[in-house]
Amino acid sequence: MQFRILYTAIAACVLALPYATLPAAAQGLEVSPAFRSEPPKKQSRQAQPQRKQAPAAAVPLVTATDTPAEKGPVLAETAPPVSQHETHPKKRPDYPPPNENCRNTVSFDVWRNEFKKKAAAAGVSRRSIALVDGFELNPQIISRDRRQAFFAQSFLDFQKKLATPNRVTSSKRKIAQHKETFDRAQKEFGVPPSVITGFWALESDFGAGMGKFPIMPALVTLAYDCRRSYMFTEELIAALQIIDRGDMTPAGMIGSWAGEIGQTQFLPTRYLDYAIDYDGDGRINLFDNDKDVIGSTANYMKNLGWRPDEPWVEEVRITRDLPWDQADLAIKLPRSQWAEWGITYPSGQRVPADNLQASLLLPMGRYGPAFLAYPNFDVYTQWNQSLNYATTAAYLSTRIDGASEMSRGRGNTNGLDFEGTKELQRQLVARGFDVGKVDGLAGAKTRAAVKEVQKKLGFPADSYATPELLSALRRGGAR
């Protein structure tokens, strides 16, 4: 995803990865399970149906700094019929990039009044709109959203913490437990069980760590904050529409600090568009119903463009002499070309010389692990735009399917740390390159700029920033 983003709550831990998503090292907030080596002890979150009541005379005040809720999700007993099968929603427009380094200049009260007009125009009921008056800003949420330092780890360090043997074992156990449902989902949507469980394990450890934070106050705070106001305004409206539809009550919307719902951490718009009632009991339950989680996740991935019966990533071995500037996710070549350049599987078997399109993915440069990334890998980067997260999730799925542990590479993979990457970004900006935000994270724009400056300096253009590259820039190179 776009901002893979990462799934957490208030607590006394630190975090920061794919902003869990948006997992990241934040202070005073609970660590998302996607950033734990082992899952926490699973707690029961049995959903209790609740009858709809007449509109209340007043909406009680709930603040984003209240104690995280302990109750499980409350699902409305009179929810309207929902789909048991594939949905085909109209694709929503892409969200604009975050407005980095912005300042909030409008008061919260003014913003709230304007938001209520937008919600009314979107068809949200007066009763649900009135809920917004009961929530206050939480500065911790804003601070957390603006710090995503966990993503600054190297890919090898990142995947070691997340693609754990325990998650491989737990995923295989879950597949065996729900074999019939996984088989049905693969037949209907084309998505393999290993792919579904790979995301499921990373996002919540199969429900053990969905977050205990009230979602509505978090969405209100993020919708007000200028950094991603457009995105979270849409998500807040979607959350109110979920309440209007009868799927959940505000008290039952418990999840991560970033407003994500359920065991595979759906944002509210994703829930509205892709969540389905896969067991046919008349309601959608992504908190406690494994069948609904499996079907909804597969439905979402098919809508993102998943191609049945095709791979997503495969580890490969590369030669020491390649046209390194072709190692780019934006460049897809037939496997026959990669085979001609001497790329093989770890066993030594040659890559098939066919026309299946693939990119060469080098998350740590030409000396680190190497993968062929196929069109299905694009689904991973749509799920979460962090390259570390997307590659880790894809690799984890291959491990669930029985692949061996990856190689650590064939040489020095030393890259830049958080501060070194920030300095590199400043050097690139001074030379006219667009790196997005100077944030210490080597995102797509930074990698593209690194590749261009490597070409100018005569370095192998593998898009991987190294201390040697930074030293050359400090000496005034490529101006």
Domain match, 170 and 317 both: no
Q: Please state the three-class secondary structure of the chain as a single string.
A: CCCCCCCCEECCCCCEEEECEEEECCCCEECCHHHCCCCCCCCCCCCCCECCCCCCCCCCCCCCCCCCCCCCCCCECCCCCCCCCCCCCCCCCCCCCCCCCCCCCCCHHHHHHHHHHHHHHCCCCHHHHHHHHHCCCCHHHHHHHCCCHHHHCCHHHHHHHHCCHHHHHHHHHHHHHCHHHHHHHHHHHCCCHHHHHHHHHHHHCCCCCCCCEEHHHHHHHHHHCHHHHHHHHHHHHHHHHHHHHCCCCHHHCEECCCCCECCCCECHHHHHHHCCCCCCCCCCCCCCCHHHHHHHHHHHHHHCCCCCCCCCEEECECCCCCCHHHCCCCCCEEHHHHHHCCCECCCCCECCCCCCEEEEECCCCCCCCCEEECCCHHHHHHHCCCHHHHHHHHHHHHHHCCCCCCCCCCCCCCCCCHHHHHHHHHHHHHCCCCCCCCCCCCCHHHHHHHHHHHHHHCCCCCCCCCHHHHHHHHCCCCC
Whether 33 contacts 58, CB under 8 Å = no
pLDDT of residue 37: 45
Q: Considering the domain boundaries, does residue 405 fall inside one?
A: no
Predicted pLDDT of residue 439: 85
Higher pLDDT, 233 or 152: 233
Interval 346-367 mean pLDDT: 96
Cα separation, 203 vs 110, whole angstroms: 35
15 and 55 belong to one structural domain: yes
**Structural domain contains residue 386:** yes
Residue of 470 and 413 predicted with greater confidence: 470
Q: How far is CA 405 from CA 368, 391, 399, 400, 424, in A?
A: 14, 14, 7, 11, 32
For residue 406, is it within any domain? no
Please report which confidence band the pLDDT of residue 84 belongs to, taking 50, 70 and 90 as the band edges: low
Burial degree of 90 (CB within 10 A; 0-12, 13-18, 19+): exposed
Q: What is the pLDDT of residue 463?
A: 95
Q: Mean pLDDT, to the nearest integer, of 226-236?
A: 97
Cα distance between residue 15 and residue 69, in whole Å: 20
352 and 431 assigned to the same domain? no
- Chain-centroid distance of CA 191 in Å reads 18
Which whole-number Å values give the CA distances from 108 to 132, 137, 143, 220, in the listed order? 11, 8, 16, 10
Provide, rounded to the nearest whole percent, the portion of the chain with pLDDT above 70.
81
- The reply to whether 208 falls in a domain is yes
Catalytic residues: 203
User: Among the three residues 400, 432, 457, which one is the final residue of a domain in this structure?
Assistant: 400
Distant-in-sequence, close-in-space partners of 165: CB < 8 Å, separation ≥ 6? none
Q: Is residue 407 one of the residues assigned to a domain?
A: no
203: phi then psi, degrees, rounded to nearest 5: -75, -35
To the nearest whole number, what is the mean pLDDT of the chain?
Answer: 84
Question: Is 73 a member of any domain?
Answer: yes
Residue 64, pLDDT score: 36
Sign of CA pseudo-dihedral 447, 449, 454, 460: positive
Q: For residue 412, is it within any domain? A: no
Q: Are residues 318 and 278 in the same domain?
A: no
Q: Does residue 410 register a pLDDT over 90?
A: no
Q: What is the pLDDT of residues 4-52, one digit of tens each?
A: 333 333 333 333 333 333 333 222 233 343 444 444 444 444 343 333 3
Residue 24 C-beta-side C-alpha neighbours within 13 Å: 25
Q: Are residues 369 and 443 located together in one domain of the fold? A: no
Residue 167 CB partners (closer than 8 Å, separation 6+): 201, 202, 205, 396
Q: Which residue has the higher pLDDT, 7 or 380?
A: 380
- The model's confidence at residue 414, banded by pLDDT at 50, 70 and 90, is confident
Same domain, 57 and 2: yes
Q: Final residue of a domain: which of 284, 303, 322?
A: 303
Domain membership of residue 205 as a residue range: 1-303
For residue range 442-458, what is the model confidence (pLDDT) as tens digits?
Answer: 888 999 999 999 999 99
Output the pLDDT for position 166.
97
| Residue 80 confidence (pLDDT) above 80 | no
Which of residues 303, 329, 355 is at a domain's end? 303
Top pLDDT among 73 and 224 is at 224
Report which listed range, 26-35, 152-161, 373-382, is most confident.
373-382
pLDDT at position 440: 87
Percent of the chain with pLDDT over 90: 71
Does 423 have pLDDT greater than 80?
Answer: yes
Tens-place pLDDT, residues 159-190: 999 999 999 999 999 999 999 999 999 999 99
Residues 385, 464: one domain?
no
> d(Cα 396, Cα 197) in Å, to the nearest integer?
9
Clarify whether residues 246 and 320 are in a common domain. no
- For residue 88, give Cα distances in angstroms to 91, 278, 322, 332, 367: 9, 15, 42, 28, 43
More confident residue, 148 or 320: 320
- 142/189 same-domain check: yes
Number of domains in the chain: 3
Joined tokens for residue 262: 């359920």
pLDDT value of position 176: 98
Q: Both 282 and 330 in a single domain? A: no
219 and 363 share a domain?
A: no
Residue labelled with tokens 């209790």: 48
Give yes or no for residue 150 having a pLDDT over 80. Answer: no
Longest dimension (CA), the chain: 73
CA distance 111 to 131: 15
Listed residue (441, 400, 314) closest to 5, CA to CA = 441
pLDDT classification of 479: cutoffs 50, 70, 90: confident
Q: What pLDDT is attached to residue 152? A: 66
Q: Are residues 72 and 215 in the same domain?
A: yes
pLDDT value of residue 74: 46
Instruction: Answer whether residue 391 is part of any domain.
Output: yes
Q: Is the pTM of this model over 0.85?
A: no
Amino acid at 433: F
